[in-house]
Every structure is written in C-alpha cells, then in structure tokens.
C-alpha cells in the first residue's frame, strides 16, 4: 500500500479526535452509520481513504458544522495529491516516504542533529557516504534512490515560498569525517554557502558547552499552515522511525529546541567555526 499523504494522515487524526471528543467507540459509530468497524479503523489510521459520503456520515454523527465541515471535505479531496514523491515511493520505505510528504507540506522545520549534517543541507557525496555507512544492507540501487530523494527534498529551500529551516548540530557533526577529507571539506563549504539563504539558520553546539538537552538524540519538529494541521515531531532511531502528534510531545520538543538554540553558538559564530573546520579538512593539510 502506498504511504499515506500528509493530508490523509491529518484527516485520520482529526477523525480520531472527533470520535473521542464525542465519547463514542468504533462499534457505536458502526451501529449508527452502518460503516464496518474494520473500515473505520483503516480510515482512522490512514490506511484507507474514505469516500465522500462516508466522511459526510461521520461528520453528521460528530455534529461538525461549518466552516470546519467544508475544511475537512476539502482535505479529503486534496488527500490523494502526492507531488514529486511518485517517482520514488515504490523504492523507499513507507516511513521515509511519509516523512518526505510531511516535509514537503511544512512551512517551517526545526532540526537538531547530534552526529550528522541535516539532510536538507547535505551534499550529494556526503549523503551517499552517510547512507552507505548507516545502511550497509542496502543495495547500490537503494542507496542511489535515497540519495536522489534527499537531493530533490532540498528544492524546498529555494522554491517560490521557501521552507524555513532552523538547524542546530552538535560540533560532532561538523568534526566527524564522513566520506573522506575531500568530501567533508566540500560539505562544510556547502554549509557556508547555503546558510546565506535568508530562510536558513544554522547553529553549532560546541564541545566546550558540555552536556545539553539534545544529547539523548536527534529530532525534527515540522510546523504546517493552519489549513493542514498542527505541528508534528519526527524521531529516527535504530528502533525505528516515530511520529509524535500529541500536543504535550510537541510542546516538550519545542522547549528542548529553545534550550538548544540558547546554548548554541550564534549563527555568525557558528559560521566561523564551520569555516575553520573546512580549512582543517582541505586536502593536503595534516597527516
């Protein structure tokens, strides 16, 4: 089954919220509407796209009025749109395609990385080296598909209404040599250039800052236009990818990011650190 689009996930999330607010079980909804419980489960988990009449029946039961009713019906109409992801969806894991869908719809991304350069800021050679090392079980074709997708994602930074990116990285991500010194030097030079964009901010947490709230691991907070829905948090780990949509989780990660931003070097001081690291990685220097 193709990965659900961001709008389809948003619709599913809203339908779950409406049912719980009405204090109804899926069994109770099935009795009132005749919609099969299994179908309701698939709709509420974004595994199935409801028909317009099915959605209308659910909104009747939940007593949803205008203008929210029209907004949700419009969300259903738009939920089949996938954009450029069609090219890759059959080659990429479902969780990754879901992430790409969310990112493509986001208006702002807060990204903290403890060991890697953020994907939206990676060069092609760095991305290939990083993916190859992290996923040694992948075939060459699978690696290239991921690299191509990562490069296409970066178009969001220069589109007509560009994605706003605020990235914070631990100094370890700047100092770790991925792909060799030439690849790393190119990557660091690219960071210096890409952060000239007015919608891109990059900060570095230096080693001498000591312990900080980001040490447990990397995360991404994505914020959307009001018509699409509230923010979400994405966490990528060895145990699997995780999307968090509860308000308490979003607030917690926003607070962590605020603390990280306060503890990191300023964007200008970060740029100086990155430029110095780039000079250190130029071929011909050191042993």
- The domain locations on the chain are 6-81, 85-281
Distance of CA 156 to the CA centre of its chain: 12
Residues 191-199, mean pLDDT to the nearest whole number: 95
Q: What is the pLDDT of residues 86-145, one digit of tens each?
A: 445 456 776 777 788 889 889 999 999 999 999 999 999 999 999 999 999 999 999 999
Average pLDDT over the chain reads 89
Q: What is the pLDDT of residue 86?
A: 47
- Say if residue 238's pLDDT is above 90: no
Between the two ends of the chain, the Cα-to-Cα distance in Å is 51
Which is nearest to 129 in space by CA: 146, 111, 114?
Answer: 146
The label of the residue with tokens 């050191």 reads 286
Following CA atoms 59, 61, 65, 68 in sequence, which dihedral angle do they give, to the nearest 10 degrees?
-30
Q: What is the CATH number of domain 85-281?
A: 3.30.870
Q: Which residues of 130-158 are buried (b: 16+ CB within 10 A; e: fewer)?
A: bbbeeeeeeeeeebebbbbbbeebbebbe
- Architecture of the domain made up of 6-81: Orthogonal Bundle (1.10)
């Amino acid at each position: 089954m193709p990965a659900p689009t961001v709008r389809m996930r948003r619709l599913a999330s809203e339908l779950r919220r409406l049912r719980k607010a009405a204090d109804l079980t899926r069994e109770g909804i099935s009795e009132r509407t005749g919609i099969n419980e299994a179908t309701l489960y698939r709709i509420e988990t974004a595994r199935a796209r409801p028909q317009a009449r099915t959605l209308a029946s659910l909104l009747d039961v939940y007593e949803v009025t205008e203008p929210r009713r029209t907004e949700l019906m419009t969300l259903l109409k738009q939920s089949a749109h996938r954009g450029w992801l069609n090219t890759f969806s059959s080659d990429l894991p479902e969780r990754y395609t879901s992430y790409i869908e969310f990112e493509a719809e986001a208006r702002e991304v807060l990204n903290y990385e403890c060991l890697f350069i953020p994907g939206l800021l990676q060069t092609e050679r760095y991305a290939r080296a990083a993916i190859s090392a992290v996923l040694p079980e992948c075939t060459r074709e699978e690696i290239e598909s991921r690299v191509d997708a990562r490069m296409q994602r970066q178009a969001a930074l220069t589109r007509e209404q560009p994605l706003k990116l605020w990235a914070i990285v631990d100094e370890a991500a700047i100092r770790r040599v991925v792909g060799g010194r030439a690849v790393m030097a190119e990557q660091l030079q690219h960071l210096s250039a890409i952060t000239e964009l007015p919608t891109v901010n990059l900060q570095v947490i230096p080693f001498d800052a000591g312990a900080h709230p980001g040490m447990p691991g990397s995360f991404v907070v994505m914020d959307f236009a009001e018509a699409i829905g509230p923010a979400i948090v994405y966490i990528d780990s060895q145990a699997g990818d995780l999307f968090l949509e509860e308000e308490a989780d979003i607030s917690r990660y926003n607070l962590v990011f605020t603390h990280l931003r306060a503890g990191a070097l300023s964007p200008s001081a970060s740029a100086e650190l990155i430029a110095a690291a780039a000079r250190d990685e130029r071929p011909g220097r050191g042993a």
